[in-house]
Structure 1
Amino acid sequence: MFAKPIPGRTTAAVEGDAVVLLIGMRINHFWAVHQWLPVFLAMPRMLRELAKDKQRGLLGHVLLTASPRTYYVVQYWESKEKLYAYAHAPDMFHRRAWAILNGKERKGKLRQHVGLWHETYVVPEGSYESIYADMPPFGLAAATGVLPIESRGRRAADRLAHRSGARAGAK
């Protein structure tokens, strides 16, 4: 199930602002498997949950490894409001997982065995651009679709100047 490369140069079909969440964990003590393994397994469960309900707003994601200790996910969201809504939804796994982690942290059981982090970026339209050369859909393009590079401009400056139809009329 490998995606085939698209010949030539393409760009992401994103319109409007781009919402990017980087979220990950670092294993601080390999021997404390009983502490970090549940944290490690929580993210795939949340991603499966989100994949079942596209209305929640997750457009796509990329799983990455920074080192044998550090794992993270780059997520692309429809909006920061949908990201926040998922994070706080009482019927979704994230809320339960976070409550369990915070409970363990308060009791000192999780402390120092596993590190957690996230960074959220809302990137305004006109402040991002992309190019993919002989690549299958990846990253932002996998999340939002692929366009021929000519549709947004051959140069980075041209792609950064692109405005979606909804915004172009609002000027």
Structure 2
Amino acid sequence: MGPGFKAKLAPASAPHKFNPKDRYAAIVKTLFTLYPIVLVAAFFQLLFCALLPSDFSVVPSAILLLGYAVTTLIHHLTPSSPMNPYTQHIVPGRATAQLPAPSGSFGTDPGAQGLVVFNLGVQWNHPLGILSPGAKEMIQRFMAMNADLMRRREELGLISINHWKGRDVETASALNITYYFRDVASIHRFAHQELHRKAWDWYHGHHFPHIGIFHETFIVPARSYETIYDNCVPVGLGRGAVRCEDVKGEEQWVNTLVSADTPALKTQMFRLGRGAQGNPKE
């Protein structure tokens, strides 16, 4: 057996984080895509106009547009800057996600370990969206459970976590959190603990007809999943981290991304541990 798959990110003392350093791009620029925030901005524009002479009415819009234009130009001209939120966490080249062994090595067997994909979500089917009655309390309970899972990720076998936001009609919105676990027993154990039970009891005790909740569980055996990422900020299973011990016995967190530029990981079927016809390899 040759050397194992090559990791794309170096091991670290804590799981890698991929949050943008520049909060302007992550928050202010979304004014042009998030309908509710545009309405709030319009309200403050009207307030500004009502309190100051009409000659000043263009100031808020001019400042916002100028800031948008300047930062867009800066980000365009400096793609390799560590402060560029669009490129700062990109992992160059082709990568795929594999689960490391307890030692932190990846071996040479694609998809050797099974996993569980768990989607947990909430919908606010209301014209006020996340400002609707009960929404704030629901979000607080979601985030409390999420924070507890993150604190105990090794205990509960949590590999990766991803947040997704969606909107079907105007201000009606949804939040979905995708978790990757080592096994379904950990999810079941967490579901019966106090924090989750209190959130469940609160939801069923208030009966908000416009708040919907859902979850989906997919148990994926070994050699039954594959991933490919090309010049991407880590996402999905590729955002995962597993606690391991190096040869000196020191704790380290190993990211799941490995280079896909190796024959054993070159194609979808190879990454599934299968032959060209889709049959499992012996």
TM-score (norm 2): 0.51
Match of 1:4 in 2: 89
Match of 2:159 in 1: 59
Match of 2:145 in 1: 46
Match of 1:100 among 198, 202, 205: 202
Question: Is structure 2 residue 232 aligned with structure 1 residue 135?
Answer: yes
Match of 2:257 among 136, 146, 151: 146
Q: How many residues align?
A: 156
Amino acid aligned to 1:113: H
What is the deviation of 1:33? 2.3
Distance in 1, Cα, partners of 2:218 & 2:228: 20
Cα distance, 1:42–1:152 mapped onto 2, change above 3 Å: farther
Instruction: Map Cα deviations across residues 41-73 of structure 1 (whole Å, 9 max, x no partner).
Output: 222211111111221222221110121512111
SS in 1 for 2:176: strand
Match of 1:74 in 2: 178
Amino acid aligned to 2:269: A
Match of 2:267 among 146, 150, 155: 155
**Which of the two has greater strand per residue?**
1
Distance in 1, Cα, partners of 2:144 & 2:264: 36
Question: Is structure 2 residue 198 aligned with structure 1 residue 86?
Answer: no
**Structure possessing the higher relative contact order (Cα contacts under 8 Å, 6 or more residues apart):** 1
Distance in 1, Cα, partners of 2:263 & 2:136: 45
Distance in 1, Cα, partners of 2:142 & 2:157: 16
Cα distance, 1:81–1:7 mapped onto 2, change above 3 Å: same
Match of 2:29 in 1: none
Greater mean alpha carbon deviation, residues 26-35 or residues 150-159: 26-35
Cα distance, 1:43–1:85 mapped onto 2, change above 3 Å: same
Cα distance, 1:152–1:81 mapped onto 2, change above 3 Å: farther
Match of 1:167 in 2: none
Distance in 2, Cα, partners of 1:151 & 1:100: 52
Amino acid aligned to 1:40: I
Cα RMSD of the aligned pairs, angstroms, is 2.0
Match of 1:124 among 221, 240, 244: 221
Distance in 2, Cα, partners of 1:63 & 1:37: 17
Match of 2:47 in 1: none
Match of 2:134 in 1: 35
Instruction: Map Cα deviations across residues 68-109 of structure 1 (whole Å, 9 max, x no partner).
Output: 51211111112100010011123xx2121111112223xxxx
SS in 1 for 2:272: helix
Indicate the structure (1 or 2) with the bigger Cα radius of gyration: 2
SS in 1 for 2:227: coil
TM-score (norm 1): 0.82
Report % sequence identity.
Answer: 25
SS in 1 for 2:223: coil
Checking the alignment, whether the CA contact within 8 Å between 1:36 and 1:113 is kept in structure 2 is: no
What is the deviation of 1:152? 4.3
Checking the alignment, whether the CA contact within 8 Å between 1:11 and 1:152 is kept in structure 2 is: no
Cα distance, 1:84–1:151 mapped onto 2, change above 3 Å: farther
Q: Unpaired segments of 5 or more residues in structure 2?
A: 1-18, 21-87, 100-111, 242-255, 275-281
